[in-house]
Structure 1
Amino acid sequence: MAAAVTAVVFILSAMSTRASAALIEQTFVVSQMRMTHLCRETLVTVVNGQLPGPMIEATKGDSVIVHVVNQSPHNMTIHWHGVKQQLNCWVDGVPMITQCPILPNHNFTYRFDVAGQKGTLWWHAHVFSLRGTVHGAFIIRPRHCGANSYPFPKAHREIPIVIGEWWEMDLEQMDSDFVHGFLDDQPSASTINGKLGDLFNCEGAVEVGYVLDMEPGKTYLLRVINAALFSEYYLRISGHKFTVVAGDANYVNPYRTDILAISPGETVDALVVADAPPDRSYYMVAKPILTPPPDPQIPAFATRATVLYKYSSNHNHSNGAAAALSSRRRRPRSDDAPVAPEMPDEFDMMTSFYFCGNLTSLRRRHAQHLPAVRAQVDERMFVTLGLGSVCRRRGQQSCKRGDSDETISVATMNNVSFELPDLKTSMLDAYYRNTSSMDDMVVELPNGPPRMFNFTDSALMPTGPEEEELEPTSKATVVRRFRHVAVVEVVFQSTAMWQGDSNPMHLHGHDMFVLAQGLGNYDAARDVARYNLVDPPVRNTVLVPRLGWVAVRFVADNPGMWFMHCHYDFHLSMGMAAVFIVEDGTTADTSLPPPPVFSSCSHDNSLKPQEFFLKAK
């Protein structure tokens, strides 16, 4: 069922002639609808009958209210990905961690500010796999309009480009499969702005694709979002170049390239000038990046949109006949198909590695407010990311490993797989009220793995004696506490345990300075000297490269309870996550305020906390 979006803007102050802060109010109705693609009708969960969902547009300093009306059969929360929620952890939108889930036929209202931020962010369901269809763009523009509002040439138009996937299955069932160690599910197609494009067809009739209209000579700001569950993507437009100007709502030094690399959870802002011959049309291609053998090989599908040139009504035409084409797309020559770009090999991960390595933070002019990288580090962690197994029978300490039905595959951080505690309220609620029962249910994320080994040894990918020795792991509610304003450095190390995936790691409530990246095993004696402490890029989601590492640093200055997790859906569902607890400061202005409403999550006492992620009974 589609529902109209209610968008009401109230002026909060008229103290001066300057643009003032506003209240942006929307209603999200979450429901199910049937959509037909690839000759098959699929029941999908969407917001306001849209895929992607409605875009939220705000201005730096605005307040936002979103009323979520859950008319779906699923439990629901919405996470405002990249919004820092300073002193407002209660509305971060992580079920059973920061809030109770919104049950079917229930409502919940999110209220928060977007002070101190501007750029491209997004929102999505945080009930694991449902974010595959419950997501949308969240755009925060500078407070002052005009030619100097951005530290780059003002664009003629700003256009969200949301890369996603099309799933012909029940996404909550897929999530349950991951939790129980079954990893065979896969998407049927990739999408750009919800459309599959003409690489896919139904009985010979091609699927409709997204069309981007551009006027010759104009500059466009593409706000690219990777909302996919599974894949990092390359994005390229034939005949055109990109100038990357921001990532994760943080400006970067302009970077000229003909290809973008973007992992799940990330956003990239890039300028494109319409300077190709206007009598042709061009393909925009989004292609998934696959891990090469000996990793398990799963199908992945590129998709494409079409770029068409048109003339606007105020274009200078030489005669009346030309003027009649005003405001219409320029017709390509009838014998010419759109020009397709040459894409990297499907296993090419180095292009992505170099793309990430070429980004640096813009620290001049509009970015003077950015804090400098803290030189003094208070806490250091070395966190390995990989797969392992636990015995299928709960509490059993010993079982047959390898390809065995006696185990369940899990994803880990430092050899511990995250699970929720057995609480009848959210973890944040229990923490705020100093509930001693929660303290008894959590374990601390250790500073490093239980043992050191060659983390990137490809011999660990297939099952064998060496792998089986390292495979056993544990499940626990993993947390790490930081004192207020502690400077924290984390080195994330991808491993070859059963797979060689990269890992897009997302930290809620904070941005991270990305100091360095590398391939192979991290070696502090060698690699600390490579740290960029001058102008490192600032991200909320950082890609840890395949069989490589990334070093990040952040200041724990936002009191509350913040999820840190991999943004690949199967890794998240399998437990590659931890909760970072930032303690209160010494004043009221540096302490987490009371929640809007204390509430118990025990709407149905027959359900255990983990089952709140799954379909309501």
Structure 2
Amino acid sequence: MAAACVAFFLAAVLAAAAGGEAAIVEHTFVVSQMKLDQLCNDTLVTVVNGQFPGPTIEVTEGDSVVVHVVNKSPNGVTIHWHGVKQQLNCWADGPAMITQCPIQPNKNFTYRFNVTGQEGTLWWHAHVSCLRATVHGALIIRPRSGPGSYPFPKPYKEIPLVLGEWWDTDLLELERKLANGEMKEVPTSSTINGKLGAFNNCSGVIEDDYILNVEHGKTYLLRIVNAALHAEFYLKIAGHIFTVVAADANYVKPYTMDLIAISPGETVDVLVVADAPPGKYYMVAMTVPSQWIVEEPLMNTLVISRGIIHYNNTSKGSENTPVLSPELPVDDMGNISFYFHGNLTSLRMPSVPTSIDERIFIDVDQGYICKEGESPCRTAVTRMNNISFQLPTSVPLLQAHYYNNISTSISMVREFPSSPPNIEFNRGNTMKATSMRRVRYNTTLEIVFQGPPGETSYLNPMHLHGHDFFILAQGIGEYDPNKDVHTYNLVDPPVRNVALVPRFGWTAIRFVARNPGVWFLHCHLEKHVPSGMATVFVVEDGPTLDTSLPPPPTDYPTCDGQSNKVSYE
């Protein structure tokens, strides 16, 4: 057995010895295609175990997870365990051609990882093309000492609430369009736990609402996941209030509000007390356009799905009363997300590093490149510091890094710069490259993401694999290093794995690179990934064996000449 597997099971044994109750949680994921009848169409989709969303993985902090992925679909696939830190275990992280080749049709691969030092709601999803639209599910990590040790009132029940999108189209074709700059595709509907909701109908056939049955007076923990490809969601329940208690599997100081803003890739945990008069209440998930133009802020059609909160002890006489609907925001919607994220602070006072080793300023915007014979350049791409990321085509970056042959096995490699070529936003000079930045072990980095501050802008939920980070501040307009540094929260900043860069604004984060490996940094809007809004941090080994990346597992997938199944070209 390879050293990586030995290290994995040794960690499991040590965890069991320390806690006395740690377990190995084992699942089998069969990836296959099936037809789902939605909106009068039989749409062929890729799913796990015949479910949409896929199965929820439930573990206790300190457990080890083993997931056998059996690929019975016609396309290569990988699974990313979104938010799991994968300490010394980059091989199990999952992004295609970053840490591994895809698992080819009729092939298997087993992911093994620990969930030590993390509690709360995370999720898993495919990390090949647009397949995560239907290949995804929740990952719940409960405290080792039980639900009674939550830093908030123990809930009566815990409910995973996966918000997503329904695409009545071929997802691989959608990926091809996005990679070629065709970024105006929109989903047919949004979904709540796979249900499209009765707002949608076709030829008189109304889609099912998601129904949550509750008991009056009981408290419910909603574990909300935004699994959508493109949409930020605003979630609201008529007659009820949310108490936010966690985000991205990190506890926050509780605060109450009647609306949740959650961007693609994020998770939010909220308490809801069923204290309204018995009856039925609509839960509405409304998409918010990712791209805004000042003169035309609602340039994309809003997509709404709904569920129903149904009180079990509702009297028969009140069953026929109308379902109450929440009042939805229609004005100033961009500011709702900004203030929601700005209200988050950490419950457990973190130790924020004050000494910075490297500062990186990243423009996240759009540019253009020339295809052969094209003049002027009209192919739209997204980019970071004027580099539009290109996936490797034959060897995963992690494999090339481990065997020290990146320069010889991967073409178009370029060092990712600390700042854009110039601070002024421009639409030219875009380079297509496999950009990467080498970082010494134990380096403290501060990154400022700057979104387009002009008349056209869009939100960018930036996800860093393998690390949590402190979100120090956010702002509207162009970042001013002399002024805005004084707004940093160095006392109780929220700890996240997704940093939302607001429309027309910026966000500053800070983290310590103590996890050797190759870690993807990318926007979690799917339309921005194949078009290039990504880069890679290569965290070098530390000075000891237990700060160095172990070798790959024995069943590590090989490309076998099939890398074209994930190529964005």
TM over 0.5: yes
Name the CA shift for 1:75/1:332 in 2 (closer, same or farther; >3 Å). farther
Question: What amino acid does structure 2 have at the position aligned with 1:452?
Answer: I
SS in 2 for 1:32: strand
Letter in 2 for 1:612: K
Query: How far off its partner does 1:183 sit?
Result: 2.2
Query: Does residue 1:516 correspond to 2:473, yes or no?
Result: yes
Checking the alignment, whether the CA contact within 8 Å between 1:233 and 1:262 is kept in structure 2 is yes
Corresponding residue for residue 542 of structure 1: 499
Aligned to 1:198: 198
Return the offset for 1:306.
0.1
TM-score, length basis structure 1: 0.86
Match of 1:288 in 2: 287
SS at 2:404 equivalent: coil
Amino acid at match of 2:323: P
In our comparison, the structure showing a higher alpha carbon Rg is: 1
Task: Give the Cα–Cα distance (whole angstroms) in 2 for the partners of residues 306 and 90 of structure 1.
Answer: 41
Matched, 1:390 2:403: no
CA distance in 2, matches of 1:40, 1:506: 34
Q: What SS class does the counterpart of residue 164 from structure 2 fall into?
A: strand
The equivalent residue for 1:298 is 300
Once residues 434 and 18 of structure 2 are traced to their aligned partners in structure 1, the CA distance between those partners, rounded to angstroms, is 52
Deviation at 1:270, TM superposition (A): 0.3
Q: 1:602 to 1:341 in 2, by over 3 A?
A: closer
Partner of 1:173: 173
SS at match of 1:243: strand
Distance 1:392 1:337, change over 3 A: same
2:315 corresponds to 1:358: no
Please state how far the C-alpha of 1:599 moved relative to its aligned partner: 5.7
- Match of residue 115 from structure 2: 114
CA–CA distance in structure 1, aligned partners of residues 16 and 488 of structure 2: 46
2: distance between equivalents of 1:272 and 1:346?
26
Quote the offset at 1:18 in angstroms: 6.5
**Counterpart check, 1:482 vs 2:439:** yes
Shift of 1:185: 2.0
What residue is the counterpart of 1:460 in the other structure? Answer: none
Distance 1:432 1:13 in 2: 27
Instruction: Give the direction of change, closer, same or farther, for the CA distance of 1:332–1:451 in structure 2 (3 Å limit).
Output: farther
Q: What is the CA distance between 1:19 and its match in structure 2?
A: 5.2
Q: What residue in structure 2 maps to residue 505 of structure 1?
A: 462
**1:612 aligns to 2:569 (yes or no):** no
Residues 276-317 of structure 1, C-alpha deviation per residue, up to 9 Å, x if partnerless? 001x21011111112443568232311110000114xxxxxx
Per the TM alignment, residue 563 of structure 1 is displaced from its structure 2 partner at its CA by 0.2
Residue of structure 2 aligned with 1:400, choices 375, 379, 389:
375
User: Would the alpha carbon gap of residues 182 and 151 (structure 1) be closer, same or farther in structure 2, given more than 3 Å must change?
Assistant: same
Contact 2:102/2:557 (<8 A) preserved: no
1:172–1:614 contact (8 Å) kept in structure 2: no
Letter in 2 for 1:203: S
Letter of the 2:88 counterpart: L
Residue 599 to residue 355, structure 1, CA distance change in 2 (3 Å): closer
CA distance in structure 2 between the partners assigned to 1:160 and 1:503 by the alignment: 25
- Please tell me whether the aligned partners of residues 36 and 43 of structure 2 are also in contact (alpha carbons under 8 angstroms): yes
What does residue 143 of structure 2 align with? Answer: 142
Instruction: Write the letter of the residue equivalent to 2:336.
Output: T
Identity %: 54
Structure 2 residue ranges without an equivalent (≥5) = 1-11
List per-residue Cα deviations over 1:498-557 (Å, max 9, x = no partner): 941110000000001000000000001110000000000000001100010000001101
Verify the 8 A CA contact 1:81 1:123 in the aligned structure 2: yes
| CA spacing shift, 1:516–1:332, aligned 2, 3 Å | farther
Q: Which residue of 2 aligns with 1:237?
A: 237
**8 A contact 1:12–1:20 mirrored in 2:** no
In 1, the alpha carbon distance for the partners of 2:16 and 2:130 equals 45
Deviation at 1:41, TM superposition (A): 1.2
- Cα distance in 1 for residues equivalent to 2:49 and 2:315: 33
- Residue 60 (structure 2) aligns with: 59
For the structure 1 residues 555 and 573, does the alpha-carbon distance in structure 2 shift closer, same or farther, using more than 3 Å as the test?
same
1:231 maps to amino acid: A
Q: How far does the alpha carbon of each residue in 1:80-109 deviate from its partner, in whole angstroms, 9 at most, with x for none?
A: 000000000001001111011001111110
Query: Size of the alignment, in residue pairs?
Result: 554
Q: Letter of the 2:72 partner, please give it.
A: Q
Q: Which of the residues 385, 388, 394 maps onto 1:414?
A: 385
Letter in 2 for 1:483: R
| 1:17-62 residue CA offsets vs partner (Å, 9 max, x unmatched) | 9651100000000011111111111011100000000000000000
Deviations along 1:90-143, one digit per CA (max 9) or x if unpaired, are: 010011110110011111100111011110000000003100000000000000
Question: Is the contact made by 1:362 and 1:535 (CA closer than 8 Å) also made in structure 2?
Answer: yes
Structure 1 Cα separation of the partners of residues 300 and 161 of structure 2: 25
Counterpart of 2:129?
128
Q: Residue 308 of structure 1 aligns with which residue?
A: 310
Is this contact kept in 1: 2:163–2:190, CA < 8 A? yes
Deviations 1:332-391 (CA, angstroms, capped at 9, x unpaired): 725422100011117611011001011100126xxxxx4x00000000011001111111
Q: Counterpart of 2:383 in 1: which secondary structure?
A: strand
In structure 2, do the counterparts of structure 1 residues 146 and 78 end up closer, same or farther at CA, with 3 Å as the change threshold?
closer
1:390-412 Cα shifts (integer Å, max 9, x gaps): 1112xx8xx534xxxx5321100
Partner SS state of residue 584, structure 1: coil
Cα 1:304/1:599, change in 2 over 3 Å? closer
8 Å Cα contact 1:189-1:300 kept in structure 2: no
The letter for the 1-side match of 2:355 is Q
Cα distance in 2, alignment partners of residues 552 and 614 from structure 1:
31
**Aligned with residue 404 of structure 2, among 434, 444, 462:** 434
Structure 1 counterpart of 2:330, one-letter code: D
2:518 is equivalent to residue 551 of structure 1: no
Q: What's the offset of the Cα at 1:447?
A: 1.0
Inter-CA distance 471–24: structure 2 relative to 1 (3 Å threshold): same
Structure 1 Cα separation of the partners of residues 270 and 530 of structure 2: 32
